Amino acid sequence: MEVGAVTRCPIIIDSPLATRASEIFRRHARELENGDALVRAIESRNVRFTETAEQSKAVDLVRGFHIVIAASGMCEAGRIRHRLKSWLWRDEATVLLVGYQANGTLGRLLEEGASVVRIQGDDISVRARIRKLDIYSGHADGEELANWVRARQPINAGVFLVHGEDDALEGLRERLSTFLAEDRLIRPRLDSIFRLRSQGAVEVSEAVAPPRIDPLRAGRTDWHNEFQKLVLDLQDELAKAADDKARGGVIRRLRRALQEKP
């Protein structure tokens, strides 16, 4: 075996959607490049698919080295959250993030090195190794998106830029501005309201209900995250203290810090 190669081990596909998609690829393997290799991989003896919730829960009972591929959604939903809850706190685990992790998601928090995360109401310490692949994506890149829009000209109304972080959206706006007028490129924010007309979209400026949150803070960490981190850090310090006297000292130091004037 080559140095660094992964040993033969159980590979568990823990996603009903991935199971159905794999079956579609299997049926159309002849139309795919290297389709025969894909079929061999799917039908390999060490590849298993889970279907029911009970089968998914049983994955946590598997012992020894194994690989679990679970639906991600940037770790915000699906079975991946159950897997993370069961494995993040284990030193022997590795979490491989595949694809982009948007700001404010659990996947992004793990990518940026969070020591503790909250999953399903529980605080989970992160002891697993967090690794990522940043070259795997099914989305078009900026140039492809611009070419797709260019092929649909003339655009009489406008283009809404709504899916992406600020830097990416601004980059796409600059690409599109090379062949579309600035007033045709619209970047709405949270709770923006527009009237759609044949001549273009017009933002409603009259008074409406205040935004649920500051639009500029959407998708970003805020003081709530900092507060929860402080609580978790305090719990860690209290747990490490030798006795009740030492724990009392920790609390008194914190109280004195709170009483200091800024």
- How far is 128 from 63, CA to CA, in rounded Å? 16
CB-based contact 168:140 (threshold 8 Å): no
Global pTM exceeds 0.75: no
Categorize the per-residue pLDDT at 1 as very low, low, confident or very high, splitting at 50, 70 and 90: very low
CB-based contact 170:162 (threshold 8 Å): no
Q: What is the pLDDT of residue 195?
A: 84
Pairing of strands 67-70, 185-186: unpaired
Q: What is the pLDDT of residue 211?
A: 66
List pLDDT tens digits, range 147-168: 999 999 888 888 999 888 788 8
List pLDDT tens digits, range 103-160: 778 898 899 888 888 888 888 889 999 998 877 766 778 889 999 999 998 888 889 9
- How far is 251 from 63, CA to CA, in rounded Å? 42
Class of residue 239 by CB neighbours under 10 A (exposed 0-12, middle 13-18, buried 19+): exposed
